[in-house]
Structure 1
C-alpha cells in the first residue's frame, strides 16, 4: 500500500514563525546577571534574541543589588546593608528608547502594565521622552493613567521639553488631564508650570486643564510657576508660562496654606518681569503670609543673593502698587545696595535717623556711591522738600492705584518718572 505524501506546511514569514514558537510563559523568574541586564538596557537585538530563546525571560525580574550604609539603632552604629532594586527587560528598553527591543518583548508577550520596582514601562518611557516607545506601549494596551509606587501618573513624568509628544500621545490615548498624584495632589499642569514648559502648558490648557486646581498645600499651577523661576536666565520663559496661566483665568491672589502668594514667590526669586506681570493682573503688594512677611520683606531677604538682579525695579514696582514703606530698622541691610536704598528712602516723607550709616567705612563703599551716602547723612532727620512732600501725598492718596493712575495722566515723562520713584538712586 502506497501512502500519499504528507502535505507540506506553508512557509511562514520569520516573524510568524517566531510567533508559533512562543509558548505560555512559565512562572516568573529572577535574574541578577549583569550581562542580560545590559542587553536590554543597550538594546542589543542580537543579544535580546539569544536571551529570549528562553520564554521565561520575557517577564523576568531584573534585580540589581546595591550596598548602602544604614543606621542600626539597636547596634548604635552604621552598617552595610544590601538593597535590591527590581525592574524588567521591558522597563529597561523603554527607559532608553530602544523601540525595536520594546516591540520584540511585547510581541513575545511581555506584560505591558507590569510594574516591578514601582514603575511601568510607560512611566519610564515618559521620563526619557521616548515618544515612539510611548506610542508602541499604548497600542499594546498600556494604561495611560496608572499610578507608580510614588503616586505619579505618566503625565506627571513628562517633565522635559523632549516629552511633549509623549504627553500628547497620552492625552490622545485617554489620559485624564487633571489626574492627581497620590500624596501631593499635583496635576500635570502643576508639574509643567513648575518646570516652565511652555508647549506643555499650551497643550494641557487646550485639553481643559484646571488652572485653579490646588495641590495638598493649597497652591495652584501659578504658585508653582512663580516658585520654579529660580534662575535669572529662565525668567523670560517662566514669564510667558505665567502669562498663559493668567490669560486662562489663574488668580494671582490665591495663596497656599502658609498664605504664600505667587507674588511672594516671585519676589523671593527676584524676578522683576514676573513681579510686574502679577501686579498688572491684580496681585496685592501689601498682603502678608502666615509668617507676617510681605512680598517686599521677601525681596529684601534675598537682595544679597541676587546682586546683579534689578532689585530696585522690584522694590519700585511694589511701592507703586500699594506696598507700605519698610521699617527704618530694615534699611540697615541695604547699606551695600544704594539703588534699592534710594528707592526706599524716597518713599518716606522724611529720612529717619541713620546711625547705621556710620557702619560702612568709606573704604568699603564704591566711589560712585559716596555722594549718595553723603546726601543721606545730610538729609537724615531733616524735613524734605515741598516737592517731595507733594509726591508722597499724591502717592498715599492713590495707594494701590498709583502706577495705573499716574501712567494715565497727561503729564511730561520726567514728572511721571518722578512720581513713580524713578530717580536713578538719588534723593529728591
Structure 2
C-alpha cells in the first residue's frame, strides 16, 4: 500500500520512532503520532549530512541537535511521492524549524518535481531561510534550472537581495558560472548591475573565476555585457572586473573586458592596477600561465612597473621566467643589477644567465626596433601589430611572446 510505503520511508529517516542518545542504556520511545507536521530532532555532525539516531553506543560531543520535519527531509532527498502524500495530509509547506523550509531544501538539491509540488500547495517562493536566503539563492547547480523557472513562474522576486551579503539571484548564478540561470533571470527583469553590500556586481563576481572553471564563464560575461553591464563597475575597494580577472589569471575574461573598453590602468584604493593584481597573484597561480595575462595587459597599453621596483617583481615571480621575460622586454632599456642574482632559482639558470649577460650592455638592435614600434603603436599594439606585413614569428616577437632567453 502507498501509505505503508511512506511510513516505511519515514521510519527509515528516523521520523516515526526515535531513540534518544545518552551515556546509559538505550530506551525505546513511544512512536510519534502520525501528524503531517511533527517537529522532529535529528543529530548532525558539522560538515556532514544529517543522520538518524544511532541504535547504540556513545555520541561524539561534536554532534549537535537540530530540528526538522518529515516534509523537509523528503524534499531534501527528492522523494516526490512521499512529499505528495504529506502535502495531501495538510503538511505545512513553509514550516522551517531547522532554519530551512522544504522549498529551500528542494532547490538546494535541484529536485524540480518536489519544488513543483510545494509551489502547487502554496509554498512561499520568497520565503527566507535563517541565513537570509530565498529559494532562488539556493539554485546553485545546473540541475536547479527547472527549480528556478518554477519559482519565477509562481511569483519569486528575481531581484530580492539576501539579507547578509545583499546578493541577488544573478550574483549567485555568476558565482557558479550558471549562464542558463543568468539568461533566465535577465529575461525576467533582473538588474544587470545590482550591487551587493560590498558594491559588487554580477560581472565582478563572475570575473573572479579561474580560467579553468568553465567556458560558460566567458559566455556569461558576453551575456551580461549584451544586457548593458558596466564593464568598469567598481566595488567598495575600487576594484574593477578587470582587476579581478587579472588576479584570477583569467586571460580570456581579461581579453574580453579589454576589447569592451575596460580601463587597463584603473587604480584601486591601494594604488594597484590590473597588472599589479596579475603580478601579486602569479606565484599562487603558476599552473594557470599568468604570463599570458601580463602579456595581454602590456599589449593593451598597461603602464609598466617602475624600473627601481623590478627587483620586487623578480623576487616574487622568479620561478616564472616567462613573466620576467615579458616584463623585461617591455622596456627599451632597464639596468640589470647584480643584486638580482640572489632571487634567481636554480631550475631556470639558462634564462637567467642570458639575462645577467646584459649587465652593463645595450640591448640588441632587434629589441630596440621592437621597442620603437611598440612605442609608436602604444595601447593598440594588440590590434596593429598583427596587421603588419611581416612573418608570424615577427608578430610574436613584437607582441612579447616569451622565447626562453633574452638578447
Q: What residue number does 2:245 align with?
A: 266
Q: Residues 351 and 382 of structure 1 are in contact (CA less than 8 Å); yes or no, is this contact kept in structure 2? A: no
Does residue 60 in structure 1 map to residue 38 in structure 2?
Answer: yes
Q: What residue number does 1:395 align with?
A: 374
For structure 1, the 5+ residue unaligned runs are 1-13, 19-33, 41-50, 69-79
More deviation, 256-265/401-410: 401-410
Q: CA-atom RMSD, angstroms?
A: 2.9
Q: How many residues align?
A: 371
Q: Residues 283 and 316 of structure 2 are in contact (CA less than 8 Å); yes or no, is this contact kept in structure 1? A: no
Q: What residue number does 2:229 align with?
A: 250
Does residue 143 in structure 1 map to residue 119 in structure 2?
Answer: no
Give 3-state SS (helix, strand or coil) of 1:117's partner.
coil
What is the Cα deviation at residue 253 of structure 1?
1.0
Query: CA 1:243–1:361 in 2, change beyond 3 Å: closer, same or farther?
Result: closer
Query: Per-residue displacement from partner, 1:10-69 (whole Å, max 9, x unpaired)?
Result: xxxx99xx9xxxxxxxxxxxxxxx9575358xxxxxxxxxx79x45x211111235699x
Query: CA 1:66–1:204 in 2, change beyond 3 Å: closer, same or farther?
Result: closer
Q: Residues 115 and 150 of structure 2 are in contact (CA less than 8 Å); yes or no, is this contact kept in structure 1? A: yes
- 1: CA distance, partners of 2:176 / 2:63: 35
Q: What is the TM-score of this pair, normalised by structure 1?
A: 0.79
Query: CA 1:66–1:140 in 2, change beyond 3 Å: closer, same or farther?
Result: closer
More deviation, 122-131/111-120: 111-120
What is the Cα deviation at residue 127 of structure 1?
0.5
What is the Cα deviation at residue 295 of structure 1?
1.7
- Give the alignment of 1:95-106 within 5 angstroms: 95-106=76-87
- Give the alignment of 1:24-423 within 5 angstroms: 35=11, 37-39=13-15, 54=33, 57-64=35-42, 83-227=64-208, 229-230=209-210, 232-326=211-305, 327-329=309-311, 330-359=313-342, 364-366=346-348, 370=350, 372-409=351-388, 411-423=390-402
- 2: CA distance, partners of 1:377 / 1:82: 61
Q: Residues 350 and 382 of structure 1 are in contact (CA less than 8 Å); yes or no, is this contact kept in structure 2? A: no
Give 3-state SS (helix, strand or coil) of 1:305's partner.
coil
Q: What is the TM-score of this pair, normalised by structure 2?
A: 0.82
More deviation, 149-158/402-411: 402-411
- 2: CA distance, partners of 1:381 / 1:162: 62
What is the Cα deviation at residue 307 of structure 1?
2.2
Q: Residues 78 and 106 of structure 2 are in contact (CA less than 8 Å); yes or no, is this contact kept in structure 1? A: yes
Give 3-state SS (helix, strand or coil) of 1:116's partner.
coil
Q: Residues 99 and 129 of structure 2 are in contact (CA less than 8 Å); yes or no, is this contact kept in structure 1? A: yes
| Greater radius of gyration (CA) | 1
- 1: CA distance, partners of 2:247 / 2:45: 40
- 1: CA distance, partners of 2:191 / 2:141: 21
Q: Residues 351 and 379 of structure 1 are in contact (CA less than 8 Å); yes or no, is this contact kept in structure 2? A: no
- 2: CA distance, partners of 1:254 / 1:83: 43
What is the Cα deviation at residue 423 of structure 1?
4.6
